[in-house]
């Protein structure tokens, strides 16, 4: 207890000193500020969820300053600023925030999402090439998705019309696609460890995303980078310790898979999955590719490829319940163009224009990752007339961009027609779902394949309805600000769905 108290006092004193330092350095006179209090920053000025508060208060401002404790974060609030930053200044916006904490737990830091510099460039290049070799974004991946679609249908049929928890249902399908690409095999849904992994994915995606948690963590990280002896203080935070424990569970499982593949490598000449390809690459460039970085890359692939796809599908089902006329149009198009006897394939995109438009509108309305992933500016730049210093932290208010009335008329309405021209699907030029520029999501093509095939296959067979035993309304599940306390992934409230065969 005495040690914890001493660390807290020392950390508080260091944070106070850093507050003074940062207030001098980040005068931010050219960007409007939310306002802040010493030490706690903008917390009192921004009711949760933060992305919604910023949208409602600063929707017309291209860039807004928000203080997470002592840490200044520049939030890009408009499409113009977002595009200028991520396309015109892609190199300068490619950095990531401090990895001091993760490095203290896992040792070396590599991977695809949270690294930067040479490690990030090499891992992104390697990952894209490797996954393409295994059918990533092509026929091979579509065959894997078809297998998971069949398992999805079997699970729904086994429920025999009983209400189903869509979190488990959709996460199982999405994560098993990653399993096959990364491990070379799928995990059985009845495997208890598989469900434990799904629970870990969900907890990690939602942990530590409230305003107060982000304020504390970013403040202490800013201090720890300059005073590393205070690192134990950050590990004492309850939210941090729980998140690290969950990361370690997933990390340990990835290490087990790595060891299993390494033991079998002598028996094969050609890599059949991501892990084997990485192990072969370690022999070529051992100075850059190692076991710890492999485990981190696999961990990131799972996190990025499971919760996002699963929750987009959950949103899609709820939007279809809310807009039955849209659901009927999607169904009628599918039946007219491809019938009910075979599963939809990616080749069907050329004729399923309204279906694609509905999926595009799901991306816009759901705004699944409303503040994106934090970026670090690597050198001084100016965006939308605002000077931004090197090592500043940036976030992107995707929700605000997707609900800008200047870009989308009646932005709160679900209107697939806004993505059609002369009845032909036209990809929306202002969607930030998968990012832009150098840091754009490398899994975009796979995610789009999964969403198209899963959504089309579900719409081809079923009507959706809420559990009649649940007294909550659709607004309670999808709009109530109370369910969006975190800002990492915007998920609907827990609910169950009844899948009924269409006549």
Q: Per-residue pLDDT tens, the chain, 503 aa: give them.
A: 444 444 344 444 444 444 444 444 444 457 888 877 776 677 777 777 778 888 888 888 999 998 877 778 899 999 999 999 998 998 888 887 765 555 555 555 667 877 778 888 888 999 988 888 877 666 778 889 999 999 999 999 999 999 999 988 998 899 899 888 888 888 776 677 777 777 777 776 665 555 445 545 555 555 555 555 555 665 666 666 777 777 778 778 778 888 888 877 766 678 888 989 998 888 888 888 888 888 788 878 887 888 889 999 999 999 999 999 999 999 999 999 999 999 999 999 999 999 999 999 999 999 998 888 888 898 999 999 999 988 888 989 999 999 999 999 999 999 999 999 999 999 999 999 998 888 888 888 889 999 999 999 999 999 999 999 999 999 889 887 777 765 578 889 899 999 999 97
**Contact yes or no for 85/401 (Cβ under 8 A):** no
Q: Comparing C-alpha atoms, which of 346, 364, 357, 345 is closest to residue 427?
A: 357
Look up tokens 């697939």; give the residue: 416
Neighbours of 31 (CB within 10 A): 22
Give the span between the Cα atoms of 178 and 308, in whole angstroms: 12
Give the span between the Cα atoms of 298 and 446, in whole angstroms: 16
Q: How far apart are the first and last CA of the chain?
A: 65
Q: What is the pLDDT of residue 458?
A: 98
Give the span between the Cα atoms of 312 and 7, in whole angstroms: 42
Element (H, E) at 301: helix 291-322
- Which residue(s) pair with 64 in the sheet? 75
Q: Is 441 annotated as a binding residue?
A: yes
Dihedral over alpha carbons 358, 363, 364, 366 (to 10 degrees): 110
Peptide bond into 49 cis (omega under 30): yes
Lateral strand order in the sheet of 462-466: 164-165, 496-501, 462-466
Report the b/e string of 269-299 with b at 16+ CB within 10 A. eebebbbbbbbbbbeeeeeebebbbbbbbbb
Retrieve residue 358's tokens.
């509905």
**Contact yes or no for 425/357 (Cβ under 8 A):** yes
Axis-axis angle for helices 291-322, 274-284 (nearest 10): 150
Neighbours of 193 (CB within 10 A): 10
| Predicted model pTM | 0.86
Dihedral over alpha carbons 9, 11, 17, 23 (to 10 degrees): -130
Q: For residue 401, what are the CA distances in angstroms to 148, 316, 354, 444?
A: 33, 20, 23, 19
pLDDT (tens digit per residue) in 244-287:
777 778 778 778 888 888 877 766 678 888 989 998 888 888 88
**Contact yes or no for 233/8 (Cβ under 8 A):** yes
Dihedral over alpha carbons 246, 247, 249, 251 (to 10 degrees): 170
**Contact yes or no for 474/321 (Cβ under 8 A):** yes
CA 110 to chain centre: 18
Strands 164-165 and 496-501: antiparallel
Retrieve residue 197's tokens.
């992994």
Largest CA distance in the chain: 72
Q: What is the pLDDT of residue 374?
A: 84
Give every CB contact of residue 313 below 8 A, 6+ residues apart in sequence.
166, 170, 174, 451, 454, 455, 458
Give the span between the Cα atoms of 371 and 219, in whole angstroms: 18
Axis-axis angle for helices 291-322, 324-338 (nearest 10): 110
DSSP character for 403?
A: T
DSSP character for 416?
A: G
Q: Comparing C-alpha atoms, which of 334, 303, 304 is closest to residue 320?
A: 334
DSSP character for 486?
A: -
**Contact yes or no for 175/205 (Cβ under 8 A):** no
Axis-axis angle for helices 211-226, 238-264 (nearest 10): 70
Q: Comparing C-alpha atoms, which of 224, 242, 222, 238 is closest to residue 41?
A: 222
Q: What is the pLDDT of residue 36?
A: 79
Structural domains of the chain, ranges and CATH numbers in brackets: 2-490 (1.10.630.10)
Q: What is the pLDDT of residue 67?
A: 84
pLDDT (tens digit per residue) in 371-423:
888 888 989 999 999 999 888 889 899 999 999 999 999 999 999 999 999 99
Q: For residue 85, what are the CA distances in angstroms to 281, 428, 491?
A: 33, 19, 27
Q: For residue 41, what are the CA distances in angstroms to 212, 269, 290, 394?
A: 10, 56, 39, 16
């Amino acid at each position: 207890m005495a040690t914890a108290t001493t660390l807290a006092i020392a950390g508080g004193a260091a944070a106070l000193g850093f507050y003074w330092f940062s207030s001098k350095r980040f005068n931010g006179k050219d960007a409007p500020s939310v306002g802040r209090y010493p030490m706690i920053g903008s917390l009192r000025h921004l009711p949760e969820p933060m992305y919604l508060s910023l949208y409602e208060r600063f929707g017309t401002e291209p860039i807004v300053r928000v203080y997470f404790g002592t840490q200044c974060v520049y939030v890009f609030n408009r499409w113009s600023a977002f595009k200028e930053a991520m396309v015109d200044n892609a190199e300068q916006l490619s950095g990531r925030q401090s990895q001091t904490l993760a490095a203290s737990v896992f040792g070396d830091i590599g991977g695809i999402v949270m690294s930067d510099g040479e490690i990030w460039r090499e891992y992104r290049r390697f990952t894209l090439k490797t996954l393409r070799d295994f059918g990533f974004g092509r026929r091979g991946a579509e065959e894997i998705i078809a297998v998971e679609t069949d398992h999805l249908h079997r699970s729904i049929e086994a429920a025999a019309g009983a209400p189903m928890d869509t979190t488990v249902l959709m996460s199982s399908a999405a994560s098993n696609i990653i399993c096959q690409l990364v491990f070379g095999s799928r995990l059985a849904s009845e495997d208890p460890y598989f469900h434990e992994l799904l629970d870990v994915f969900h907890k990690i995606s939602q942990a530590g995303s409230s305003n107060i948690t982000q304020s504390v963590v970013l403040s202490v990280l800013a201090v720890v980078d300059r005073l590393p002896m205070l690192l134990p203080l950050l590990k004492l935070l309850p939210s941090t310790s729980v998140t690290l424990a969950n990361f370690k569970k997933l990390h340990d499982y990835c290490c087990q898979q790595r060891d299993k593949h390494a033991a079998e490598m002598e028996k094969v000449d050609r890599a059949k999955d991501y892990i084997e390809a990485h192990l072969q690459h370690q022999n070529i460039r051992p100075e850059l590719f190692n076991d710890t970085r492999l485990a981190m890359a696999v961990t990131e692939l799972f996190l990025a490829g499971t919760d996002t796809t699963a929750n987009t599908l959950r949103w899609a089902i709820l939007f279809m319940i809310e807009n039955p006329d849209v659901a009927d149009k999607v169904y009628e198009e599918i039946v007219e163009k491809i019938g009910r006897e075979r599963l939809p394939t990616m080749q069907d995109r050329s004729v399923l224009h309204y279906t694609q438009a509905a999926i595009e509108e799901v991306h816009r309305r759901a705004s699944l990752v409303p503040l994106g992933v934090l970026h670090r500016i690597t050198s001084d730049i100016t965006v939308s007339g605002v000077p931004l210093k090197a090592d500043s932290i940036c976030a992107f208010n995707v929700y605000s961009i997707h609900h800008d009335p200047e870009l989308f008329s009646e932005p709160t309405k679900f209107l697939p027609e806004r993505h059609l021209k002369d009845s032909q699907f036209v990809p929306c030029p202002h969607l930030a779902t998968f990012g832009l520029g150098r840091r754009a999501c490398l899994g975009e093509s796979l995610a789009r394949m999964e969403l198209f095939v899963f959504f089309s296959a579900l719409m081809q067979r079923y009507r959706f309805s809420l559990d009649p035993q649940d007294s909550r309304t659709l607004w309670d599940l999808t709009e109530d600000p109370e369910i969006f306390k975190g800002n990492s992934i915007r998920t609907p409230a827990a609910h169950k769905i009844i899948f009924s065969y269409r006549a």
